[in-house]
Amino acid sequence: MEKLLDLISKEVMDAFEKAGYKREAGRVSVSNRPDLCEYQCNGAMALAKECKCAPINIANAVSDALKESRVFESVEAVMPGFINMNLSPAFLADYVVKMSESDKFGIDLPKSETIIVDYGGPNVAKALHVGHLRPAIIGESIKRILKFMGHKVIGDVHMGDWGTPMGLVMTELRERKPDLPYFDESYTGEYPKEPPFTVADLEEIYPTASAKSKEDPDYKARALEATLKLQNGVRGYRALWDHIMNVSVNDMKRIYEKLNVEFDLWNGESTVQYLIPDMVKEMKESGVAYESDGAIVIDVKKDTDTKEIPPCIVVKSDGASLYNTTDLATIKERVIKYDPDQMIYITDKRQDLYFEQVFRAALKAGLVSDKVTLSHIGFGTMNGKDGKPFKTRDGGVMRLEYLIKDIQDKMYEKIKENKNIDDVEARKTADIVGLSALLYGDLSNQAVKDYVFDVDRFISFEGNTGPYILYTIVRIKSIISKYKEQGGDLSTLKIGTPVNASQKDLMKVLASLSQTMEGAAAELAPHRVCAFIYDLANAFNSFYHETKILSEENEARKGEFIALINFTKNVLEACIDMLGFEAPERM
């Protein structure tokens, strides 16, 4: 379906043409004076200069040409030459009915693409912490938005699973249990199926090892050696690495699940190591990469750059590959395996320059064609109320699991406070609503901006929050179930022409859905979906407060109200699903 604003603009453009003016002037926008009108066109003012006539004359002629239009209820030319318009309620109702009867609410879907979203990006062997919240939930929402728009989307967690942290863990393990067969290079038997540590061990081992290596150069050297052994495929080290991966990945899955975050691929830096030697060789042979101070680099600066873009280092001077190398090889692998139209990376915005270098190097080396869009969504920092990066009360880094639990516990207290509700149900509801508070609190901010993590605000049932949105959905559900209890049948209902201003407003917000979705998908911007559902929830609540719905005596009209709020609920539910949460039955 065509977007509502486009339909309206077309109507006004036709009128400009009919009145003898050029159509381009007829572009309409939503009124910035909603007290005066719903839509406005300022084209007459711009035209007046060109055709040297009074803008009000043009506006009058256009208004006359719109007299018979079925799109508008009223059209008025006002000094010095504005055209103010109000939409015809019947036209609006028609539009919303069509939306409600169409697949995907009548949104025109773009050509379907294959899109890889690279998000999450945790480093293995460390517990997930608050820093892992944003990449996970922003990426998940972008993935869901693109899926909704009909794309084939592949989410890759892309773990950091190949560097020194691995060598550190192995070294510390060796200190503690030197007799394990993994460290015996003459051992040829099978290695144990059971890992020689638990997640809890692992989480303690890594920081210990990391601290030791900072103090003890000898320890550090052993850790580097262990890393090298792993990378060279020494059997025992590979077996140990498999254990580390299994234990960490299972734990990560458990926590991501609490956030409703799910990946299609559990790949990481290790996945593409097999591609690196040939890739580097080809880069050198083609001359794209060259030696500089012992390292292998690709120049990526352009004449048009306004800031310094340093070369992309492909191999370090000691011969080791690095973050860049695996990212380049990953691009190569993705092109071979999935032939994607787009690759989208979600990380902290401090990696902006890094990705710019990698993207340019990949293109220059021919790993990817210029038909493939590579983009980096860099997000800002989650701050505490003091405006500094979020910390625990004692200044530490909070584990992601505790952050989630904390907000769900607070939600539970709140739910228990208000109602006499069974404990098990209160817990279940608190988990769902608490998650909405966390996700919405984050996603409602433009990703690139820093924001303040304010639990008390996030869990509020009022204002621009997840719980407010859910409360609205639950309210609609409850009206609908009462309607059904009274013998109402939803399947025969149809949305009707609005009978009051708040009903019309609600329909106007609904009609702007395709505009919102188009923008959200193009800009990869979940916050636009949040802004839309906040408007929609507000519009519904105004309608609800100003209109007797269930007690409406005219049965036909009551049915039209129910059809409208049911459609509102469907749209809200589809939108929160794109943000990664759902609504409970009651709250």
User: What residues make contact with ligand ARG under the rule CB under 6 A?
Assistant: 118, 121, 123, 158, 160, 327, 345, 347
Q: Encoding tokens for residue 329?
A: 């090889």
DSSP-H helix ranges across 87-187: 89-101, 133-148, 164-176
**Closest distance between ligand ARG and the C-beta of residue 121, in Å?**
3
Nearer to ligand ARG, 129 or 527 (CB): 129
Q: Residue 138 has which token pair?
A: 């922003």
Q: For Cα atoms 539, 439, 569, give the angle at the middle one, nearest 5 degrees.
A: 35
- Let me know: does 92 contact 511? Beta carbons within 8 Å: yes
Least distance from ligand ARG to the Cβ atom of residue 62, Å: 53
Which of 255-287 are b and which e, b meaning 16 or more Cβ less than 10 Å from the residue's Cβ?
A: bbeebbbebebbbbbbbbeebbeebbeebeeee
Determine the straight-line distance between the first and last CA of the chain, rounded to whole angstroms.
Answer: 36
- Sheet containing 342-348: order of strands: 152-156, 114-118, 342-348, 373-379
* CA 186 vs CA 55, 189, 222, 233: distances in Å: 92, 9, 19, 15
- Candidates 585, 583, 584, 576; CA nearest to 148 is 576
Q: Which is nearer to ligand ARG, 155 or 580 (CB)?
A: 155
Nearer to ligand ARG, 260 or 271 (CB): 271
- Least distance CB 355 / ligand ARG (angstroms): 8
The nearer residue to ligand ARG, 125 or 578, going by C-beta atoms, is 125
Cβ proximity to ligand ARG, 182 vs 345, nearer residue: 345
Quick one: 339 exposed, middle or buried, by C-beta within 10 A (0-12, 13-18, 19+)?
exposed
329 phi/psi in degrees, rounded to 5: -65, -30
- Amino acid at position 204, single letter: E
Is residue 114 a contact partner of residue 151, using CB atoms and an 8 Å limit?
A: yes
* Cβ nearer to ligand ARG, comparing 162 with 219: 162
Q: How far is the CB of 380 from ligand ARG (least distance, A)?
A: 15
Which CB sits closer to ligand ARG, 141 or 347?
A: 347
Q: What is the DSSP code (8-state) at residue 159?
A: B
Specify the DSSP class assigned to residue 74: E
Count Cβ neighbours within 10 Å for each residue of 532-542 and write b for 16 or more, e otherwise. bbbbbbbbbbe
To the nearest whole angstrom, how small is the minimum distance from the Cβ of residue 343 to ligand ARG?
A: 9
- The three-point CA angle 311-315-319 to 5° equals 145
Please report how close the Cβ of residue 147 comes to ligand ARG at its closest, in angstroms: 20
Using DSSP's 3-state secondary structure scheme, residue 114 falls into: strand
Radius of gyration of the chain (CA): 29
Task: Report in angstroms how near the CB of residue 263 gets to ligand ARG at its nearest.
Answer: 12
Of 327 and 505, CB closest to ligand ARG: 327
CB of 146 to ligand ARG, least distance (A): 18
Residue 301 beta carbon to ligand ARG: minimum distance, rounded to whole angstroms: 21
Nearer to ligand ARG, 40 or 326 (CB): 326
CB contact at 8 A, 91 and 97? no
Shortest distance, CB of residue 122 to ligand ARG, whole angstroms? 7
Nearer Cβ to ligand ARG (139/467): 139
Minimum separation from the CB atom of position 358 to ligand ARG (A):
8
CA torsion sign, 441 to 445 to 447 to 452? negative
Closer of 123 and 472 to ligand ARG (Cβ): 123
The answer to whether 232 and 293 are in contact (CB under 8 A) is: no
Sign of CA dihedral 83, 88, 91, 96: positive
* Residue 52 DSSP class: T
Alpha helices in 149-176 (DSSP H): 164-176
Identity of the residue, 118 or 560, whose beta carbon is nearer to ligand ARG in the bound complex: 118
Choice between 213 and 347, CB closer to ligand ARG: 347
Closest residue to ligand ARG, based on beta-carbon distance:
121
Q: Do the Cβ atoms of 435 and 260 come closer than 8 Å? A: yes
Token pair listed for 309 = 């873009």
CB of residue 171 to ligand ARG, shortest distance in Å:
21
Pick the closer one to ligand ARG by CB: 140 or 327: 327
Nearest-approach distance from CB 130 to ligand ARG, in angstroms: 13
The single-letter code of the amino acid at 58 is I
Token pair for 443:
């996603």
Please give the helix or strand (H or E) that residue 402 lies within, else none: helix 400-418
Output the smallest distance, CB 448 to ligand ARG, in A.
Answer: 17
> In terms of CB distance, is 118 or 140 closer to ligand ARG?
118
DSSP, res 286: H
Q: To the nearest whole angstrom, how small is the minimum distance from the Cβ of residue 397 to ligand ARG? A: 13
Asked whether the beta carbons of 361 and 302 are under 8 A apart, the reply is no
